Amino acid sequence: MVTIQINGKLVQAEKGEMLIAVIRRQRIDIPALCHHDAVEPCGSCRLCMVEITKKDWDGWSKFVTSCLYPVEPDLIVSTHSPRVVELRKTILDLYLARSPKSEIIQRMAAEYGITQTSYQEVPDGDNCIMCYACTRVCEELGCNAISAVQRGHKKIIAPPLGEPPVDCVGCLSCANICPTHFIEWNDDNGKRTIWGKQFELVSCKICGKKTITRDFAEYLVRKRNIPANYFEICDDCKRTELTKSMGKIVIAAQEISK
């Protein structure tokens, strides 16, 4: 354990854990868009930046992304110093110029007093804020079906060659993790469509309800050592079946004890 100082308060932290976790444990509200506990940090949104210094740095300080900065002994952290707040305002201002319609951006910017961007709105700006959450979760699952392509201001998240991605299993992890709900998908008539690829949905053998995609079921069976027939019945029906068999056991046990 090491002791660090956050906004003037002494705090205990695990050595090597990322600063953002320690800050949030202190219930300090620090914004972040690309940070998610399920995936490796990447430091692209820059909102969680804090100012750090140490006693022996002779008054020198630096700005670091707290999601990527491992805790060190004697660190002095300011999460809301004037420069940090100014930086966050500029970043949110820039986000607002790029994604003016995004609700989460609007809300975060408003918290920092920005309701209208100071810059020119980006022509055809969309709600993708290039936080890489989708690509990281896809990588985490081992699919790597999508990635960031092109560069700079033209960068987009897309499947290889812009074609329906061969490696996508339709698990929706990317859509669910997206902080701005930008990734579109739909389930219709037993089919799921995402990234321009269509998937067949598995029906429950008992109630007929659509559950996950066949590709995802097969993927899990193959990679996660799950029994082949596991996805034939939906979770609800599994529970019902379990209750029924539990009941039978209870009755049988009662008979024996008589």
4 binds other proteins (CB under 8 A): no
Q: How far is the CB of 51 from other proteins (least distance, A)?
A: 9
76 binds other proteins (CB under 8 A): no
21 binds other proteins (CB under 8 A): no
118 binds other proteins (CB under 8 A): yes
Let me know if 237 is exposed, middle or buried by CB neighbors in 10 A (0-12, 13-18, 19+). middle
- The count of other CB atoms within 10 Å of the CB of residue 4 is 21
Q: How many residues can be counted in the chain?
A: 258
**What is the rounded distance in angstroms from the CA atom of residue 28 to the CA atom of residue 79?**
8
Q: How far is the CB of 60 from other proteins (least distance, A)?
A: 13
Q: Where does this chain touch other proteins (CB under 8 A) — which range of 87-95, 163-171, 196-204, 243-251?
A: 87-95
Interface with other proteins (CB under 8 A), residue from 12, 119, 226, 251: 119
80 binds other proteins (CB under 8 A): no
Q: Is 36 helix (H, G, I), strand (E, B) or coil?
A: coil
Nearer to other proteins, 91 or 212 (CB): 91
**What is the rounded distance in angstroms from the CA atom of residue 49 to the CA atom of residue 31?**
9
Size of the site for other proteins (CB under 8 A): 36
178 binds other proteins (CB under 8 A): no
| Contact indicator for 36, 133 with CB cutoff of 8 Å | yes
Nearer to other proteins, 52 or 217 (CB): 52
Interface with other proteins (CB under 8 A), residue from 5, 7, 147, 176: 147
DSSP state of 150: S
Pairing of strands 9-13, 49-53: unpaired
Residue 50 has φ and ψ, to the nearest 5°, of -130, 165
Give the chain's end-to-end CA distance (angstroms, integer): 59
39 binds other proteins (CB under 8 A): no
Binding site for other proteins (CB under 8 A): 42-46, 49, 63-65, 68-70, 83, 86-87, 90-91, 94-95, 97-98, 118-120, 122, 129-130, 132, 147-148, 150-155
